């Protein structure tokens, strides 16, 4: 029998929740929705942008789908999986009983955080793998057509796509940290999820203001498009390295604040 609040027990609760199941249904539906949308137009793209090349084969379709999802869908799902974990217990009036079991507060937070992050990683992997399969069945298995010219064989692009998935997962750490912090500050799941999404939207807007200069580099998700460097014949890791470091920094800061706040929080629910 799994120990209460162990990683395995929390994982079962997370994966068995209706909102988790519906979230994965949405992840699986996205590539199908995009194929349906492309079906209304011509099959082949006439330009060299990522979207115009999306129907040229499974490789391009998978990358376009991942790029599209990372702009909003994965942000919302990350905020949901991580930010909803603690306030959902409060909304069910079960958080107080978990803590008087007795269960150390740090253990409760750690199990929920780890399972939330693993669920996010699983969603990204499922999205990428499913997009490759669906795109191959719909558009064939040709090599990746690089926007701007050139191609990458699957022997090379497969590893590049894996790198894109890993980088997206690392980027989502920022969203996870923000959502986790809001989650321990409120008993309302919607407030935690909405707060994290709102912060990322504001950060994106500020990132477009050139007057901020180099200050923009530290904004959450500022390097969200740095994975495009993986599409070049020779990969430049500079932007992705900066993006990963900033993401880990933001995650560490917000998670540290979350533990500090929750350790002193008067749990009434």
pLDDT tens readout for residues 170-205: 999 999 999 999 988 887 878 889 999 999 999 999
- Percent over 90 (pLDDT), the chain: 61
Burial 59-96 (b: 16+ CB within 10 A, else e): bbbbbbbbbbbbeebbbbbbbbbbbbbbbbbbbeeebe
Return the pLDDT at 12: 82
Q: Is residue 170 part of a domain?
A: yes
Instruction: Supply the DSSP symbol for 6.
Output: -
The residues facing 151 across adjacent strands are 145
pLDDT tops 70 at residue 99: no
Largest CA distance in the chain: 63
Mean pLDDT of 82-106: 63
Count other Cβ atoms within 10 Å, centred on residue 32. 12
In a domain, 22, yes or no: yes
Residue 91 lies in domain? 7-264
The predicted model scores a pTM of 0.89
Is the confidence at residue 77, as pLDDT, over 50? yes
Q: Is residue 163 part of a domain?
A: yes
Lowest mean pLDDT segment, chosen from 2-6, 46-50, 54-58: 2-6
Residue 45 falls within a domain, yes or no?
yes
Report how far residue 226's alpha carbon sits from residue 216's, in angstroms, rounded to the nearest whole number. 14
Cβ neighbours of residue 93 closer than 8 Å, sequence gap 6 or more: 269
What digits encode the pLDDT tens for the residues 13-32? 788 888 899 999 999 999 99
Residue spans of beta strands (DSSP E) within the chain: 144-145, 151-152
Give dist(CA 122, CA 126) in Å, integer. 6
Backbone φ, ψ for residue 151 (5° rounding): -140, 160
Structural domains counted in the chain: 1
Read off the pLDDT of each residue in 220-241 and give the average, rounded to a whole number. 92
Do residues 65 and 53 touch, judged by C-beta distance below 8 A?
Answer: no
- With CA atoms as reference, report the closest residue to 85 among 174, 5, 22: 5
Q: Is residue 46 part of a domain?
A: yes
Average the pLDDT over 126-140 and give the result: 96
Is 245 part of a structural domain of the chain?
yes
In a domain, residue 269? The reply is no
Cβ-contact 174, 80 below 8 angstroms = no
- Judged against a pLDDT cut of 80, whether residue 101 lies above it is answered with no
The answer to whether position 2 is within a domain reads no
């Amino acid at each position: 029998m799994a120990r209460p609040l162990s990683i395995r027990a929390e994982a079962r609760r997370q994966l068995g929740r209706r909102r988790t199941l519906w979230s994965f249904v949405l992840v699986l539906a996205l590539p199908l929705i995009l194929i349906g949308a492309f079906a209304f137009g011509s099959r082949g793209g006439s330009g060299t942008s990522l979207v115009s090349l999306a129907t040229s084969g499974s490789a391009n379709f998978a990358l376009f789908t991942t790029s599209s999802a990372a702009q909003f869908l994965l942000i919302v799902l990350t905020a949901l999986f991580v930010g909803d974990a603690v306030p959902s217990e409060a909304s069910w009036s079960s958080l107080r009983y978990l803590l008087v079991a007795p269960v150390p507060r740090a253990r409760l937070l750690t199990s929920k955080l780890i399972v939330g992050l693993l669920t996010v990683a699983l969603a990204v992997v499922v999205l990428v793998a499913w997009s490759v399969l669906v795109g191959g069945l719909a558009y064939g298995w040709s090599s990746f057509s690089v926007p701007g010219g050139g191609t990458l064989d699957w022997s090379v692009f497969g590893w590049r796509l894996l790198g894109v998935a890993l980088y997206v997962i690392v980027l989502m750490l920022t969203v996870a940290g923000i959502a986790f912090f809001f989650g321990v500050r409120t008993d309302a799941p919607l407030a935690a999820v909405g707060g994290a999404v709102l912060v990322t939207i504001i950060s994106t807007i500020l990132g477009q203001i050139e007057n901020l200069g180099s200050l923009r580099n530290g904004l959450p998700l500022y390097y969200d498009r740095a994975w495009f460097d993986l599409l070049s014949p020779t990969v430049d890791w500079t932007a992705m390295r900066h993006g990963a470091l900033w993401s880990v920094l933001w995650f560490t800061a917000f998670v540290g604040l979350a533990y500090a706040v929750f350790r002193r929080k008067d749990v009434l629910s």
